Structure 1
Amino acid sequence: MKSTFVLLAALAAFRLPAPAQTVTAPAPSRGAADQIATKHGPLTVQPITHGSVVLTWRGKTIYVDPTGGAAVYAGLAAPDLVLITDIHGDHLDPKTLSGLTLGKALLIVPPAVAEKLPAQYQARVRLLRNGQRLDTLGLTVSAIPMYNLPEAADARHPKGRGNGYVLGLGGTTVYLSGDTEDIAEMRALRDINVAFVCMNLPYTMDVQQAAQAVLAFKPGIVYPYHYRGQDGLSDVGRFEKTVEAANPKIDVRLRNWYPAAP
């Protein structure tokens, strides 16, 4: 019997190790991308989260308000341009920026954002104030106002601090509202092909205000984005119905900007 125990102990000592478990990294948590035809090739729209989106056109990649952590950008091309609209953490996120590959990127920002950027990015910063335009990398970037109504010095978003942006992509125009309300400057926009419009109380505007603004400037395609407010997600379905009932030529595209939301 003793010899049997010795034999079993020896076999246990020389047991082959179990094969290592293969761990597959989870896919990034983000919605599916869209492709929009333009005169100079497709424009790819990749929702990220809240007010963050990645645009790709003619081999150039544009990150807008990159937040949410670097992991959600895994697999996407490094940016050529980074546009930041305002100083709040859902637009300017140094932690996310630090995890991205920004070696070739220009950062286009309003002065208030530039003041808060870490020193390592300052050499790549290009300042744009409301009303200014920059031509770079075969496209144009125009800064337009974004602000709360009524105008007040203590508003969450006072006029002149942050930028909305209009991109010119070889004849295709893209509007990014940033944090704004139904302001005259947005209503006055013309010939916008693709628009990204915010709607979240109490920070920007409600669904009805956003719908009326969109009906005023008549973009070809509109994406509701930045629609998580103090009381949860805004009713973007109601936005879609309101806009398309009044002007069925406007293509309202509802996409998942909050894939991790319950």
Structure 2
Amino acid sequence: MKFKAFFTLFLAVAILQVQAQQPKADMIKTEKGQLKIQPITHGSLVLQWNGKTIYVDPYGGAELYKGVAKPDLILITDIHGDHLDAKTLDALDTKKAVIVAPQAVADQIPEKYKNQVKVISNGQSINEMGIPIAAIPMYNLPETDDSKHPKGRGNGYILNIGGKNIYISGDTEDIPEMRALENIDVAFVSMNLPYTMDINQAASAVLEFKPKVMYPYHYRGTEGLADVDAFKKMVNEQDKNIDVRLRNWYPMEAKKK
């Protein structure tokens, strides 16, 4: 009994330590309760609303998700290992989750998950668990044969959660489809060279589509972390109404420095 009590205490302390390393969660008021936004790492985040838990591009190992409810819904944007991470999927309790993904992901996901996948392509929509989900393009500019992210392979997503439009860019540059977005309440926009875009492109696009709340995410590139402080300054010098929220998506890397 003493060993069991000790193990339970040890496990609780371990979970608290992992949670302490996670970036602080934010709350967004919707027409039907609060939307909880939990950054995890890089391009991974968790949304919780109305009793449902949504994982976006789960990556980095199950340790990062300790203390987070198991997913009801998983969105995967692309085939690269920081988006389609089979090891992390295997380590999490995903048995009852619906996985929404583009066809390229469905083709490469391990066989045991294929029955859980619902495929949508750019321009298509689906409603899962009362949440409308639209797939929009994500790609590199200029469009070339050797592009890291060709148009049509991956999905960005727009979710309508309690009347709030949530945009998840995926790996993209400042494409016309992003610039043309309207009525976005919360946006997650990538900015890491050479995979997506630099902070100047990202700031220019954000100033054009004007999300109410904007999170820089997916900002680790080959030269380290993008200067998100400079990005915020660029945006808010021209539009103070855009709430640019900087969160530490790389707590373990910051800890090593």
Does TM, normalized by the shorter one, top 0.5? yes
Q: CA deviation at 1:38?
A: 1.2
TM-score of the two chains, using structure 2 as the length reference: 0.92
Q: CA deviation at 1:25?
A: 2.3
Runs of 4 or more consecutive aligned structure 1 residues displaced over 3 Å after TM superposition? 20-24
Q: Aligned partners of 2:174 and 2:72: how far apart in 1?
A: 31
Q: Specify every segment of 5 or more residues in structure 2 that has no aligned partner in the other structure, as ranges.
A: 1-5
**Which residue pairs with 1:223 in the alignment?**
215
Superposed CA RMSD: 1.3
Of the three residues 126, 129, 132, the one matched with 1:137 is: 129
**Which residue pairs with 1:90 in the alignment?**
82
Identity among equivalent positions (%) equals 59
Q: Report SS of the residue matched to 2:30.
A: coil
Of the three residues 146, 163, 167, the one matched with 2:159 is: 167
Alignment of 1:81-230 (within 5 A): 81-230=73-222
**Deviations 1:170-214 (Å, cap 9, x if unpaired)?**
311000000000000000100000000000011100001000000
Q: More helix by proportion, 1 or 2?
A: 2
Q: Specify every segment of 5 or more residues in structure 1 that has no aligned partner in the other structure, as ranges.
A: 1-19
Q: Report SS of the residue matched to 1:108.
A: strand
**Which residue pairs with 2:70 in the alignment?**
78
Conservation of the 8 A alpha-carbon contact between 2:33 and 2:162: no
Q: Report SS of the residue matched to 2:229.
A: helix
Amino acid at match of 2:185: N
Q: Report SS of the residue matched to 1:37.
A: strand
**Deviations 1:13-34 (Å, cap 9, x if unpaired)?**
xxxxxxx897442622321111
**Which residue pairs with 2:14 in the alignment?**
25
Amino acid at match of 2:188: F
TM-score of the two chains, using structure 1 as the length reference: 0.90
Q: Aligned partners of 2:159 and 2:127: how far apart in 1?
A: 10
Q: Aligned partners of 2:52 and 2:82: how far apart in 1?
A: 24
Amino acid at match of 2:221: G
**Which residue pairs with 1:242 in the alignment?**
234
Aligned residues: 243
